Structure 1
Amino acid sequence: MQIEQIYTGCLAQGAYYITSNKEAIIIDPLREIQPYLDRLKRDNVKLKYIFETHFHADFVSGHLDLSKATGAPIVFGPQATPHFDAIIAQDNQIFNIGNIQIKVLHTPGHTMESSTFLLIDENGVDHAIFSGDTLFIGDVGRPDLAQKAANKTQEELASILFKSLRTKILPLNDNIIVYPAHGAGSACGKNMSKETSSTLGEQKKSNYALRINMSEEEFIHEVLDGLTPPPSYFRMNVALNKTGYTNFEQVLKNSLKSFDALAFKEMIENTDALVLDTRTADDFYKNHIPQSINIGLSGDFAPWVGTLIADVKQPLLLICQKNKEEETITRLSRVGFDNVLGILENGFESWTNAGLETDSVHRITAETFAEQISSGNHKIIDVRKETEYAAKHLEEAYNKPLAYINDWINELNPKEHFYLHCAGGYRSMMAASILQARGYRNFTEIEGGFGAISKTELPTTDFVCQSKTL
């Protein structure tokens, strides 16, 4: 028996490749399937099943393309209603793979079809659970995402999740390994560990949601407390995973079209495409195409595209780093953004070589920032997450998380200057690009973000004024 966790850091997502006696299964595959096909060929094994723990919201799964390529059936847990052929397993149903077994444990709550897959090894011993979004390391799946589909309130779903954990997960042996679908950074939970696996015994000790003496009322309160609104693209990804999507290779072929600077400019003027610049913040601030949005490929690119652009059908024109075109399109497709109209040929340099108009962001160092604000009161906007801000922030800073920029942007007075920062400059440059694209120019972005600011002598605090507004 072989178990391989295939972890994709930018999505904080874990897929699983398991083999036994010339047969294999894959659990929660990513959309690009070639790496899985390569493993099957390398190991000379036949893919017997593709298991899906639930209809994913934060990424487009590769289940359909993988099934078409290999002939392996797709398996969902009870209550799943896909719009394609699949095995809808019964609770406690067992599937044989080589010399091992997978037992389906229906664990609704995150979604109603959510299931945990229990691996029983060659000796008939319970070895591991692949818990999807039911159980994370240090957390559990948020129960507010499936309210509309389930026709239930988040409190009702939380109650269902409580019962699933108590009746299906907690009775299992402590030495069972827990393999979740996500780790820290995913928006499918709120307090996930950086660790990507654990034992159930350790989780019983450390995971707040598995406290033995916890009442159902306490669980509902704690699991719902502090939840932020889910990204808008989540529901669209669920629909793609449930109803189907374009073959990834076809998406790649359609998207890898390069245009010289003049043709690219014409497309900007004659389409409703959004210009997405995936270069680093350090490159973008110096020079970029006017009205373009910066989301750097070097960070949590795909989730931020989904959060900030939201509509997966939005036409896109791309500015990519050299030799990163295919990677950019692949990572966009992972969250369902397939409508790439074209790429600027030879990168941003070709735009400047053509003598076309450019723009820049006003950026200063943290040291210069410290000198400037020491002379009087200035408005400072911190676009980090609420938890980061609560841990420590500049005394006079307002917390306006980047994820909610569409909600707070209209609170700004375009005539009043403000400073903008995040933790290191990645998110603040995204915010800066969106602000400038919408006509706000009276601001200054801080290079290095709070990491650099905290090295100055500017006063910081962990006091949060909940009523503080722009």
Structure 2
Amino acid sequence: MKIEQIYTGCLAQGAYYITSNGEAAIIDPLRETEPYMKRLEKDGVKLKYIFETHFHADFVSGHLDLSKKTGAAIVYGPNAKPEFEFISAKDNQEFSIGNIKIKVLHTPGHTMESTTYLLIDENGKNHAIFSGDTLFIGDVGRPDLAQKAAHMTQDELAAILFHSLRDKVMTLADDVVVYPAHGAGSACGKNMSKETVSTIGEQKATNYALRANMTEAEFVQEVTEGLLPPPAYFGMNVAMNKKGIESFENVFNNGMRTINAIEFEVVAEETGALILDTRKNGDFAKGYVPQSINIGINGDFAPWVGALIADVKQPIILVTESGFEEETVTRLTRVGFDNLIGHLEGGFEAWKKAGFEVDTVNRITAEQFAKEVKIGESKIIDVRRESEYEAEHVDEAYSRPLAYINDWVKDINPEEHFYMHCAGGYRSMMAASILQARGYRNFTEIKGGFGAIAKTTVPKTDFVCQSKVL
């Protein structure tokens, strides 16, 4: 028996590849199937089942492409009703893979179809659970995402999750390994650990939601407290996972089409495409194709695309750093942004050499900011998360999280200058690009963000541990 966790950092997502005696199963696969196909070929095994823990909201699954390529059956737990052929598993039903078994534990609460899969090894011992978004390391799945589909409130779903955990998960032996679908950085929970593997015993001892003698009312209150609004693209990804999607290869090939600098602007205008520039924020600040939005590939790229662009049907045309075209297209398809028109051949340098108009962002160093700013007079906007702001911030700065830019942008006075920063420059450059695309030029963005500002003499509030302000 072999278990491999295939962890994708930009989505904080774990898929699982399991083999035993010539057969294999994959749990919660990402959209691109090639990595799985290579593993199957290398190991000389046949994929028998593709298990889905629930309808994912934060990424598009590769179950359909995998099934078509291998003939493997797609398995969902009770209550799932996708619009394609699948096995509707019953609670406690067992599936054989070589010499091991996968047992279905229906654990609703995060969603009503949420299912935990229990792996029983060759000796008949409960070895591990693949808990999906039911149980994370240090947290549990948020119960607010499925309210509309389940026709329930988040409190009602949380109460169901309370019993799923205590009746199905916490009754397992302490040495059973826990393999969750996500880790720190995912929006599917609120306080997940950076660790991606644990045990039932460790979680009973450390996970607040599995606390001994915890009442249902306490669980509901603590699990629902402090939930941020889900990214706008979540509902669209759920729909794609239910209904079926275009093959990864077709979408990938569209994104890999080259468009030369002369044709680029015309194509963008004719298609209504958003120009997405995925270069580093420092490079973008020095020069970019006018009206471009900057979301750097070297960061939490896919989640921010989902949060800021939101509509997965939005046509997109790409400007990337040379050599990053394939990675950019792949990451976009993972979160369902399939309407890719192509990318600028030769990147921004080709645009610049062709003599077309170039835009820039007014960026200064933290040292320059320290010399210019007048606390109490200058307006300062901090686009970090509220918890980061509350932990420590520049005196008199306003908290305006990037995730809510569509809400606070309308309150900007275009005649009033302001300074803007995040933690290190990644998010503030996204905000700068969005603001300039909407006609706002009355700001100065700060290179290095709060990390650099903190090293200057600019007055700051006293630091408070972030765990106390979440």
- Tell me if both proteins adopt one fold, taking TM over 0.5 as the criterion: yes
Residue in 1 aligned with 2:346?
Answer: 346
Structure 1 CA distance, aligned partners of 2:448 and 2:188? 28
Q: What's the secondary structure of 1:322's corresponding residue?
A: coil
> Contact 2:375 / 2:396 at 8 angstroms: preserved in 1?
no
2:44 aligned with 1:26, yes or no? no
- For 2:13, give the aligned amino acid: Q
Q: What's the secondary structure of 1:451's corresponding residue?
A: helix
2:134 aligned with 1:134, yes or no? yes
Structure 1 CA distance, aligned partners of 2:343 and 2:20? 43
> Contact 2:376 / 2:396 at 8 angstroms: preserved in 1?
no
Cα-to-partner distance string for 1:21-49 (whole Å, 9 max, x where unaligned)? 11100000000000000000000001010
Residue in 2 aligned with 1:277?
Answer: 277
- Report the TM-score when normalising by structure 1: 0.97
Structure 2 CA distance, aligned partners of 1:149 and 1:365? 48
Q: What's the secondary structure of 1:221's corresponding residue?
A: helix
Residue in 2 aligned with 1:332?
Answer: 332
Q: What's the secondary structure of 2:130's corresponding residue?
A: strand
Q: How far 1:388 sits from its partner (Å)? A: 1.3
Q: How far 1:267 sits from its partner (Å)? A: 1.5
Structure 2 CA distance, aligned partners of 1:271 and 1:178? 46
> Contact 1:77 / 1:89 at 8 angstroms: preserved in 2?
yes
Structure 2 CA distance, aligned partners of 1:462 and 1:284? 33
2:185 aligned with 1:179, yes or no? no
CA distance 1:398–1:46, change in 2 (3 Å): same
Structure 2 CA distance, aligned partners of 1:248 and 1:7? 19
Q: How far 1:265 sits from its partner (Å)? A: 1.4
Q: How far 1:461 sits from its partner (Å)? A: 1.8
Cα-to-partner distance string for 1:71-124 (whole Å, 9 max, x where unaligned)? 000000011001001001000111111111111100000000000001111111
- For 1:102, give the aligned amino acid: I
Structure 2 CA distance, aligned partners of 1:150 and 1:319? 40
Unaligned runs of 5+ in 1: 465-470
Residue in 2 aligned with 1:148?
Answer: 148
Structure 1 CA distance, aligned partners of 2:13 and 2:457? 39
Structure 2 CA distance, aligned partners of 1:225 and 1:398? 24
Q: What is the CA RMSD across the aligned residues, in angstroms?
A: 1.1
Q: What's the secondary structure of 1:252's corresponding residue?
A: helix
Q: What's the secondary structure of 2:142's corresponding residue?
A: coil
Structure 2 CA distance, aligned partners of 1:76 and 1:460? 51
Structure 2 CA distance, aligned partners of 1:137 and 1:397? 34
Structure 1 runs of 4+ off > 6 angstroms?
Answer: none
Residue in 2 aligned with 1:373?
Answer: 373
- Deviation larger for 323-332 or 368-377: 368-377
Q: How far 1:462 sits from its partner (Å)? A: 5.1
Residue in 1 aligned with 2:449?
Answer: 449
- For 1:161, give the aligned amino acid: L
Q: How far 1:174 sits from its partner (Å)? A: 0.7
Structure 2 CA distance, aligned partners of 1:301 and 1:116? 29
> Contact 1:390 / 1:462 at 8 angstroms: preserved in 2?
no
2:256 aligned with 1:256, yes or no? yes
- Deviation larger for 356-365 or 373-382: 373-382
Q: What's the secondary structure of 2:367's corresponding residue?
A: helix
Structure 1 CA distance, aligned partners of 2:112 and 2:462? 39
- For 1:283, give the aligned amino acid: D
Residue in 1 aligned with 2:321?
Answer: 321
Residue in 1 aligned with 2:36?
Answer: 36
Q: What's the secondary structure of 1:460's corresponding residue?
A: coil
CA distance 1:317–1:196, change in 2 (3 Å): same
Structure 1 CA distance, aligned partners of 2:340 and 2:351? 19
CA distance 1:210–1:375, change in 2 (3 Å): closer
Cα-to-partner distance string for 1:419-456 (whole Å, 9 max, x where unaligned)? 11111100000000000001111001110011111111
- For 1:299, give the aligned amino acid: G
How many residues align? The count is 464
CA distance 1:375–1:121, change in 2 (3 Å): closer
Q: How far 1:271 sits from its partner (Å)? A: 2.7
Residue in 2 aligned with 1:468?
Answer: none
Cα-to-partner distance string for 1:359-390 (whole Å, 9 max, x where unaligned)? 10000111111111147621111111111112
> Contact 1:291 / 1:437 at 8 angstroms: preserved in 2?
yes
> Contact 1:389 / 1:462 at 8 angstroms: preserved in 2?
no
- For 2:443, give the aligned amino acid: F
Structure 1 CA distance, aligned partners of 2:337 and 2:261? 23
- For 1:157, give the aligned amino acid: L
> Contact 2:375 / 2:395 at 8 angstroms: preserved in 1?
no
Structure 1 CA distance, aligned partners of 2:82 and 2:375? 62
Cα-to-partner distance string for 1:118-166 (whole Å, 9 max, x where unaligned)? 1111111111100000000000000000011101111110111011011
Q: How far 1:463 sits from its partner (Å)? A: 8.4
- For 2:295, give the aligned amino acid: I
Q: How far 1:262 sits from its partner (Å)? A: 1.1
Residue in 2 aligned with 1:89?
Answer: 89
Structure 2 CA distance, aligned partners of 1:325 and 1:49? 32
Structure 2 CA distance, aligned partners of 1:254 and 1:452? 40
- Correspondences of 1:306-317 after superposition (within 5 Å): 306-317=306-317
- Report the TM-score when normalising by structure 2: 0.97
Q: How far 1:459 sits from its partner (Å)? A: 2.2
